[in-house]
Each structure stands twice: as C-alpha cells, then as structure tokens.
Amino acid sequence: MEKIRALIVDDEPLAREGIHMRLKQEPDIEVIGVCGNGREAVTTILREVPDLVFLDIQMPRLDGFGVIESVGVAPMPHVIFVTAYDEHALRAFEVNALDYLLKPVDSERFFETLERARDRIRGKNLEAITEQLHKMMSALKVERKYLERLSIKSGGRIIFLGVDDIDWIEAADNYVQVHAGRESHLLHATMNSLESRLDPDQFLRIHRSAIVNIERIKELHPMFHGEYRVILKDGAQLTSGRGYRENLQKLLNNF
C-alpha cells in the first residue's frame, strides 16, 4: 500500500514532536518534513506536494489560514488543523466537516482524526474536501475582524482596554503583560494567539516576547546581527530579536 506523505507545521517544538512521535507508530505514514513557521510551510507544500498537512493555526507572521491563502485552496493537500481555539471558533471546522485537533492534543482523538483523514485521502474524495475548505476560507474572510478592545479580569472586576491605548505587550509565562500608559495588566493568553487577532498594520512583533504598537515607536537604533534597540515614546527600551528583523525592515521600508 502506498504511504501517505505527511507534513507537520507548528511553531511550538513540543507540539511538533508530539505529532511526529505519534505518526512514527503508523507504518503507512511517512513524515516528509517538519516546519516551524508559515512561510517555510508554504515553500515545502509547493515543493513536496504532501498528501496530508498537520497545520497549526496560531503562528506568528503567517498563520495557518495565511498558509492556505498563499498555497491556494485548490492545490492545498488534505489538512488536519491543530488549534487552541475555543469551542465557538471550532464550529467553523465542524460545520464544514473539516478535521481538527484541539491543543493539548489527546491521543485518542488524534488517531480517530488520522483514521478519518486516511479514509478521505484513499477514497479520493478530495474534491468535496476542497469545496468545504473553500467555503470555510470564504466565510473567514467575511468574519475575521481584528480586536478593537481587550476585556481583562482583574481583582474581581473586568477592565475594558481599547487596543489603541496599548503601548506594548510582553510575554509573562502563561499570560501576557499589556502595557498601556502608566498601567499594566495581566491577560490570560499566548503571544501567538493575541498576535493573530491584532491588526498587523498597527502592531508589530519584534521579539518572541514582545509586540509593539507601531504608533508608539519613537526611535530605532541598529545593533549587532540585525537586532535593534526599540525606544518607545514613553521611554521604554526594548530589544528586537534576530528572527524578527524582517518585520522591522518592512516597517522601515514603509517610511
């Protein structure tokens, strides 16, 4: 029997490893590659043409939906979405009969989903799956809106913070610290999930642990190895990461 060629796409090393380890147990599955970001995924999908892609949705710079848009719905292989989205957002996959895994991935659910993908791939019913994917992507284009405000639980109350008031955001273990003027607030979220919901024309990821409101940037000071010291209007000083220098370069090119 011909093996199903699978590609794993996730920016979290532990998540990639978890999927890879499970697939090693399946003699009919050949893992042809592992990608840590969306851009690498697009290149690999177009070059290798896998049968199946385990696709993380919440990735910095180019998320899972951006990967599909870049590759194109028609050429896109069968997809098993891997997501930390809540129950409401998952209805988009369920309504369109698309396969998904909710993080943290449950082993029983994983193998049930994989078996369903096998049946679809070997049943050559990919035209129907492509149509379902197309419907979902079309709906997302209409429904996807960037955050306008955050609701933050603090001390028995809920604070509503407009995103325009945010200066910058930093990672804080299982939370993010949102800095706005003289105040800062802890929000239970990941940097990746929050970045995917912020307008990229307004917010810039400059480090794996820092997102900045572009309007708050006062100065950029070049450092070594493509890094920058980023000085905000309130005097805060941040250092960009080498992996995010393309983001800052795009910002510089727009001025």
User: Considering just the CA atoms, what is the radius of gyration of the chain in Å?
Assistant: 20
Task: Return the residue matching tokens 């929000």.
Answer: 187
Q: How far apart are CA 118 and CA 73, in angstroms?
A: 20
pLDDT at 149 over 70: yes
Q: How many CB atoms lie within 10 A of CB 127?
A: 9
Tell me, what's the pLDDT at 180? 94
Q: What order of strands is seen across the sheet that includes strand 203-207?
A: 183-187, 175-180, 168-172, 210-213, 203-207
Instruction: Please report the pLDDT score of residue 64 as a whole number.
Output: 86
Q: What pLDDT was estimated at residue 128?
A: 67
pLDDT at 88: 45
Q: In which residue ranges of the chain is CATH 3.40.50.2300 found?
A: 4-143
- Please give the pLDDT value at position 240: 92
Query: pLDDT higher for 249 or 13?
Result: 13
The mean predicted confidence, pLDDT, of the chain is 85
Q: Among the listed ranges 126-135, 196-205, 212-221, 225-234, which one has the minimum average pLDDT value?
A: 126-135
Tell me whether the omega of the peptide bond preceding residue 104 falls within 30 degrees of 0, making it cis: yes
Q: Are strands 78-83 and 52-56 parallel, antiparallel or unpaired?
A: parallel
CB within 8 Å of 225: residues ≥ 6 apart: 242
How many Cα atoms are found within 13 Å in the side-chain-facing hemisphere of 249?
Answer: 8
Tell me the average pLDDT across 153-179.
Answer: 89
Specify the 3-state DSSP secondary structure of 204.
strand
pLDDT, tens digit, 9 for 90 and up, residues 26-55: 999 999 999 999 989 999 999 999 999 999
In the chain, what percentage of residues exceed pLDDT 90? 42
Which is more confident, 145 or 50? 50
Homologous superfamily of domain range 4-143? Response regulator (3.40.50.2300)
6, 42, 168, 254 from 250: Cα distances, Å: 33, 20, 19, 6
DSSP SS3 for 109: helix
The pLDDT value recorded for residue 87 is: 55
- In whole angstroms, give the CA distance from residue 236 to residue 38: 31
Provide the pLDDT for residue 142.
Answer: 47
For the segment 140-144, the average pLDDT, to the nearest whole number, is 55
Count of C-beta atoms within a 10 Å radius of residue 17: 13
What pLDDT is stored for residue 33 in this prediction? Answer: 97
* pTM of the shown model: 0.57
| Position 140 pLDDT exceeds 90 | no
Contact 82, 101 (CB under 8 A): yes
Q: Is 6 exposed, middle or buried (0-12, 13-18, 19+ CB in 10 A)?
A: buried
Structure-model confidence comparison of residues 150 and 137, the more confident one: 150
Domain limits, CATH 2.40.50.1020, in the chain: 149-253
Residue 207: per-residue pLDDT: 93
Interatomic CA distance for residues 82 and 23, integer angstroms: 15
Tell me which fold the domain 149-253 belongs to. Answer: OB fold (Dihydrolipoamide Acetyltransferase, E2P) (2.40.50)
Segment of 15-24, 133-142, 149-158, 173-182 carrying the highest mean pLDDT? 15-24
pLDDT in tens, 74-131: 788 888 988 876 554 566 566 555 788 888 889 999 999 999 889 888 876 666 677 7
Q: From 106, 191, 92, select the one nearest 79 (Cα to Cα).
A: 92
- Cα separation of 133 and 139, whole Å? 10
pLDDT, residue 124, reads 64
pLDDT above 90 for 132: no
| Partners of 211 in beta bridges | 169, 205
Q: Quick check: 143 pLDDT over 60?
A: no
Do the beta carbons of residue 217 and residue 210 sit within 8 Å?
no
Q: Are 122 and 34 in contact (CB under 8 A)?
A: no
Q: Which of 185, 180, 135 is nearest to 157 (CA)?
A: 185
